[in-house]
């Protein structure tokens, strides 16, 4: 797992499907500077856990928009596979109605930049190239701040779906830290007491809990 916390989010230019139907040939993160970004990776289109996550993000899109946050999905499928899946009804296994961008990482370079590729390439002395592991993206998720810096990352194995509620909680925690300079304790949620990052602040908080 590559540690990207506190570092600039690796930029990329790639093909993506936007608004559920339009194919963009030069999609990139730099276009969203000034907004928070949730960039999440998933293994493959037309699979099983993936549509539950993708639709769960769509169902909370209004909450992300309230938080000035863009949601972007990415897998190693082609843009044409994304487009087909986006235009397949949900009762047929599709994700029709999803309108945030889905990026194509067909050559797996974006997944490698973010350290979420489920395996790695190996070159033998003969020059033969092989791949060990899963040639798909693990369930990585990165929260990028308005200046393009990664503030949160998590990577799940293929069979473990993520919590959209937890993603929203992390956005709220980051926003609170940015606004008030207070750090957010375990299980903190918006509206709850945070604490000043001093020994006295911690002691005062713990004395109440």
CATH 3.40.30.10-classified regions of the chain: 13-162
> What burial class does residue 18 get, using C-beta atoms within 10 Å of its C-beta: 0-12 exposed, 13-18 middle, 19+ buried?
middle
Reply yes or no on whether 50 is catalytic.
yes
pLDDT in tens, the chain (209 residues): 689 999 999 999 999 999 999 999 999 999 999 999 999 999 999 999 999 999 999 999 999 999 999 999 999 999 999 999 999 999 999 999 999 999 999 999 999 999 999 988 888 888 888 888 889 999 999 999 999 999 999 999 999 999 999 999 999 999 999 999 989 989 999 988 888 888 887 878 788 87
- What is the pLDDT at residue 127? 83
pLDDT given at position 134: 85
Residue that the structure tokens 């949900």 belong to? 90
The span from the CA of 194 to the CA of 22, in Å, is 43
Which residues have C-beta within 8 Å of that of residue 165, sequence separation ≥ 6? none
| Residue 74 contacts residue 40 (beta carbons within 8 Å) | yes
Task: Sort residue 25 into left (φ over 0), alpha (ψ -120 to 50) or beta.
Answer: alpha
What pLDDT was estimated at residue 209? 77
Determine the topology of domain 13-162 in CATH. Glutaredoxin (3.40.30)
Query: Which tokens in the block code for residue 172?
Result: 């709220």
The predicted structure's pLDDT at residue 78: 97
Task: Out of 9, 16, 50, 155, pick the active-site residue.
Answer: 50
């Amino acid at each position: 797992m590559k540690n990207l916390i506190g570092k600039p989010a690796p930029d990329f230019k790639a093909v993506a499907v936007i608004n559920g139907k339009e194919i963009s040939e030069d999609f990139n993160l730099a276009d969203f500077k000034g907004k928070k970004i949730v960039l999440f990776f998933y293994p493959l289109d037309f699979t099983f856990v993936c549509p539950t996550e993708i639709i769960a993000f769509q169902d909370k899109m209004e909450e992300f928009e309230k938080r000035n946050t863009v949601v972007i999905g990415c897998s190693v499928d082609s843009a044409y596979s994304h487009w087909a899946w986006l235009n397949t009804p949900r009762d047929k296994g599709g994700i029709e109605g999803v309108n945030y961008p889905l990026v194509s990482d067909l050559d797996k370079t974006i997944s490698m930049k973010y350290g979420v590729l489920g395996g790695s390439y190996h070159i033998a002395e003969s020059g033969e190239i092989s791949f060990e592991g899963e040639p798909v993206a693990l369930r990585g998720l990165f929260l990028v701040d308005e200046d393009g810096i990664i503030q949160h990352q998590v990577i799940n194995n293929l069979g473990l779906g993520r919590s959209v509620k937890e993603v929203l909680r992390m956005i709220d925690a980051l926003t609170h830290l940015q606004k008030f300079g207070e750090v957010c304790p375990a299980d903190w949620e918006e509206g709850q007491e945070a604490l000043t990052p001093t020994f006295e602040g911690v002691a005062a908080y713990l004395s109440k809990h």
